[in-house]
Amino acid sequence: MSIDILQERIRTMKNPTVVGLDPTPDVVPAYLLEEARQRLGQGPEAVASAYETFCLAILDSLRDQVAGVKVQSACFAVLGGPGISAMQRVLAHARELGYYTILDSMRGDMPETAEVYASGVFGSVEAAGPGFAPYACDAVTLNGYLGGDSIRPFLPYCRSGKSVFVLVKTSNRSSVEVQDLLSGGRLVHTAMADLVSRWGADLYGKYGYSQVAAVVGATYPETIRSLRAKYDRMFFLVPGYGAQGGSAKNVQYAFDRFGHGAAICASRSILGAWKSGDSDGRDFAQRAAEAAEKMKKSLGKYCVIM
Amino acid sequence: MSIDILQERIRTMKNPTVVGLDPTPDVVPAYLLEEARQRLGQGPEAVASAYETFCLAILDSLRDQVAGVKVQSACFAVLGGPGISAMQRVLAHARELGYYTILDSMRGDMPETAEVYASGVFGSVEAAGPGFAPYACDAVTLNGYLGGDSIRPFLPYCRSGKSVFVLVKTSNRSSVEVQDLLSGGRLVHTAMADLVSRWGADLYGKYGYSQVAAVVGATYPETIRSLRAKYDRMFFLVPGYGAQGGSAKNVQYAFDRFGHGAAICASRSILGAWKSGDSDGRDFAQRAAEAAEKMKKSLGKYCVIM
């Protein structure tokens, strides 16, 4: 089961970190863009190639260090077809290296569309050739605002080794506007967590966590704490560590009483680590590895995964 | 302003229909796939090409008949890079023909990602060449579960001619699970409509509708009626007509007292019209036009747009 693989990978690496691959012109060093432009011209192909080179080097650098990667589809999608093709190769390389691989698209579709999308990301698009699977990944992020029939098309794949991470409480400031609305004795995000729990009720892996997991932002420690108190068998993906303001102290509550059950996600603080100081970015992969090591140490103070 | 263009296009066509372009192997006739495979082999390129041929022919056939098109990104995304490239050409052709063009990706992203995505779909990705704009469209669909800071990156573009359609109440059965939760005196989808109204408060076009508009499913006529009663300056995009069960009688409440302010979206009932009867699909474009004409007549009983 996919969530077991994540759990095992966290144990092997002794590190619950998931690195967010969100390439933008801000974190990808200028020299990579220049080199790609010299080869491929001024168009989107060059930017896509630079993003790919950057992500592959990050993957190679952190391969023995972190549990997984989360690939932000929007960053690649804004480059059109060449961007998506580059993302496909980044995902494939991540899986080859043994990373637990999350495709972060935060979609929440109508049931018919969810069916199409689920087969594309988790199954295969047979019309495009036997076994054609464009997005090699272990899990996707989903938005549950549409309710159960938008999630259910993914569940057969969860039964055979994939996972979904449903947005429960996101790390951004405005998440309070909808997610913290009071509804009866619950908040909307608690109601969402109840649904997540129900959708994954018969999909537990061997370590006791459901394949239907939750996204809970690092910036709301009290929310993490109360969700963990209520759901001891729900796996939490916790984004927002680092640049967004979440600290190791904040995210400690995501782990269960055995120190398990959560993966902590950081992106810019690792990808853009080379930007602190006077680097021109040529050491980005090394600096990313150092930042990941520092994050691991910080997390180690609060979670026991050794 | 974009929402004015939609309103004007509806008046010119005397038809509030928006056709949903959701190509799948189910609605795209087999002969198109076969022809494409003979040219391009068995891979995703052939399927992407068949989808493109199909969509371009639908666009050509309905050009003087319907107000707009809504392009479902998931259907193309599951074909990887070649699929996205085909979608870019479909969007560009739709705009060339004068359609009001909606990119339907139903994303709801973190603010930083929303910024990246908004510039990609509405602005330009300067890193990929001056003015590089991969997705020529007038509007996108968005999921507001993350709140205001996930929507705000799109608003500067709304000020200069683009629109967003935020999911308020979706047409699927399970939409009740989250969207109809009671929160104080409101339902969650009413709270979402209040937010939509606030986000678009200073973005009114010349016909009185805000550029920040709402998606309200055709299958919940009472919800449409109560939302219309409360929000007389909110434009509604109403999907779920036809195959999903929404009828002209259902959607009549979406229009304001002048018979304006709404666009009605149908997909499978138009794209797959050739499937009723014993057609092999070679008349799909003609049959789509007939289905669209029939839909226009049905809607005409309930809305005054002449």
Segment A27-49, tens digit of pLDDT: 999 999 999 999 999 999 999 99
Q: What is the DSSP letter of A103?
A: E
CB-based contact A73:A105 (threshold 8 Å): yes
Contact: B174, A116; criterion CB under 8 Å:
no
Q: State the DSSP H helix or E strand holding residue A150, giving kind and residue range, or none if neither.
A: helix A148-151
CA distances from A75 to A72, A86, A293, B137 (A): 6, 11, 25, 18
Q: Is residue B305's pLDDT more than 80?
A: no
DSSP-derived 3-state class of residue A212: strand
Rounded CA-CA distance B79/B82 in Å is 6
Q: State both tokens at A212.
A: 């239907």
Query: pLDDT per residue over B156-201, tens digit each?
Result: 999 988 999 999 999 999 999 999 999 998 999 999 999 999 999 9
A positions 31-60 inside 8 Å of B (CB):
33, 42-44, 46-47
Residue B259 has what pLDDT?
86
pLDDT mean over A60-84: 97
Rounded CA-CA distance B152/B148 in Å is 6
Residue of B nearest to A22 (CA): B113
Residues of chain A positioned with their CB less than 8 A from the CB of B268: 112
Query: pLDDT per residue over A140-176, tens digit each?
Result: 999 999 999 999 999 999 998 899 999 999 999 999 9
Contact: A178, B150; criterion CB under 8 Å:
no
Minimum distance, in Å, between the CA of residue B306 and any CA atom of chain A: 32
Tell me which residue in B43, B116, B150 faces A172 most closely, judged by beta carbons. B150
Q: State both tokens at B55.
A: 């969509």
B positions 100-129 inside 8 Å of A (CB):
105-113, 116-117, 119-121, 125, 127-129
Put simply, whether A177 touches B (Cβ < 8 Å) is: yes
Amino acid identity of residue A161, one-letter, is G
> Could you tell me the pLDDT band of residue A259, with boundaries at 50, 70 and 90?
confident
Contact: B120, A77; criterion CB under 8 Å:
yes
DSSP-derived 3-state class of residue B26: coil
Amino acid identity of residue B138, one-letter, is D
Put simply, whether B92 touches A (Cβ < 8 Å) is: no
**What is the Cα Rg of chain B in Å?**
19
Minimum distance, in Å, between the CA of residue A121 and any CA atom of chain B: 7
pLDDT mean over A68-95: 97
Minimum distance, in Å, between the CA of residue A12 and any CA atom of chain B: 30
Alpha helix ranges (H) inside chain B: 2-13, 30-40, 44-62, 73-77, 80-96, 111-121, 148-151, 155-159, 176-179, 188-199, 221-230, 248-251, 268-271, 284-300
Rounded CA-CA distance A23/A280 in Å is 17
DSSP-derived 3-state class of residue A265: strand
Q: State both tokens at B212.
A: 């920040």
